[in-house]
Amino acid sequence: MSSKNPILGLCQQATFLISAAKVDQCPDDQGLEVAFAGRSNAGKSSALNTLTHANLARTSKTPGRTQLLNFFRLDDERRLVDLPGYGYAKVPIPLKQHWQKHLEAYLGSRESLCGLVLMMDIRHPLTEFDNMMLDWCKASGMPLHILLTKADKLTFGAAKNTLLKVRQEIRKGWGDGVASIQLFSAPKRQGVDEAQLVLAQWLGLIEEEEAQQDA
């Protein structure tokens, strides 16, 4: 990546802003924000921490620990949002229903949302939740970038093959251009620069052409 990484400084100074159980508890709907979504235990919090060079999001071996919409401030106009994990979390059904209801309300109403980063465990991609998010992003025209997390759990060849296969399945099921996709490993810091370029573009820090040149 270019040494002129426009988002690096912002990421390094990212700070926790607020947690919201409901949409009406979210910060003012102004500026730009990028949301991070993923099935429970897909490595969402680890990815967020790695991208920001901070320990913003709590990580746990217990799926479903992220139960709120957690907002992190980059500057006065830009935020990152850690969305509730979805899937086989060991929580009561009513709480799962609460998450789903308010996650849908957030996605459907948030004017400042400018892009969605979707985490998929490379060993279990395209789950039912992942497909739902792809459906929603295609229908709404929301920019979507997919991180195939835990890429270090596979050999390099196997990881690249999975990347190609998932890319083909997305193209077949949702068409060209609905999502960009990459390999990512938080422990190995694999794919960090590539993902940060996407964030920088969405948050208005660089132009698309610049991002393509630096990738």
DSSP string, 182-213: EE-BTTTTBTHHHHHHHHHHHTTSS-HHHHHH
Q: How many C-beta neighbours within 10 Å does residue 212 have?
A: 11
Greater confidence, 62 or 165? 165
Query: How high is the pLDDT of residue 207?
Result: 74
Q: Quick one: which of 112, 114, 142 has its CA closest to 31? A: 112
For 152-188, give one letter per residue: b (16+ CB within 10 A) or e.
bebeeeebeebbeebbeebeeebeeebbebbbbbbee
Q: Domain coordinates of the chain in residue numbers?
A: 4-201
Contact present, 96 and 108 (Cβ < 8 Å): no
Q: Tens digit of pLDDT for each residue in 67-107?
A: 688 999 999 999 999 988 776 555 566 666 666 777 888 99
Give Cβ neighbours of residue 28 (< 8 Å, ≥ 6 apart): none
Report the CATH architecture of 4-201: 3-Layer(aba) Sandwich (3.40)
Residue 8 pLDDT > 90, yes or no?
Answer: no
